[in-house]
Amino acid sequence: MARDYYEVLGVARTATGDEIRRAHRKLAKELHPDKNKSADAPQKFSEVQEAYDTLSDAAKRGQYDQFGQAGAGSNPFAGGRQPRGGAAWQNVGQEDLEEMLGGLGGIGDFFRGGQPSRTRGGRAPAQAGQNAELEVLVDFMTAAVGGTRSVSIRDAQGKSSAIDVRIPAGVSSGGSLRIAGKGHPGTGGAPAGDLIMLIRVAAHPWFYRDGLDVSIDVPITITEAALGTSIDVPLLKGKVTLRVPAGTASGKKLRVTGKGIAPATGMAGDFYAAIQIVAPATLEAVDAAALAALGEKLPNPRETRWT
**pLDDT tens per residue across all 307 residues of the chain:** 567 888 888 988 888 888 888 888 888 888 877 778 888 888 888 888 888 888 888 888 888 887 776 555 444 334 443 433 333 333 334 444 344 334 433 333 333 344 444 555 556 678 888 898 888 999 999 999 999 988 888 776 777 888 899 999 999 998 899 999 888 888 888 898 999 999 999 999 999 999 999 999 999 999 999 999 999 999 999 999 999 999 999 999 999 999 999 998 888 999 999 999 999 999 999 999 999 999 999 988 888 888 7
**How far is the C-alpha of 170 from the C-alpha of 150, rounded, in Å?**
18
Cα 64 to Cα 73: distance, rounded to the nearest angstrom: 8
CATH superfamily of 5-114: DnaJ domain (1.10.287.110)
Superfamily of domain 209-297: Urease metallochaperone UreE, N-terminal domain (2.60.260.20)
Q: Count of CB atoms within 10 A of residue 173's CB?
A: 14
Burial environment of residue 27 by CB neighbours within 10 A (0 to 12, 13 to 18, 19 or more): buried
| pLDDT score recorded for residue 189 | 84
Estimate the crossing angle of helix 41-55 against helix 17-31, to 10 degrees. 160
pLDDT of res. 240:
97
Name the CATH code of domain 132-201 (choices 1.10.132.20, 2.60.260.20, 1.10.3720.10, 3.40.50.2300). Answer: 2.60.260.20
Check residue 38 and give its pLDDT. 83
Paired with 97 in beta bridges are none
Q: What is the pLDDT of residue 218?
A: 96
- Fold match between domain 5-114 and domain 132-201: no
- Pairing between β-strand 132-138 and β-strand 195-201 as defined by DSSP bridges: parallel
Distance from C-alpha of 107 to C-alpha of 98, rounded to nearest angstrom: 9
Neighbour count for residue 4 (Cβ, 10 Å): 13
- How do the domains of the chain map onto residue ranges? 5-114, 132-201, 209-297
- List the 213-221 sheet strands across, edge first: 207-210, 213-221, 271-278, 253-256
pTM score above 0.85: no
CA-to-CA distance for 62 and 73, rounded, in angstroms?
Answer: 10
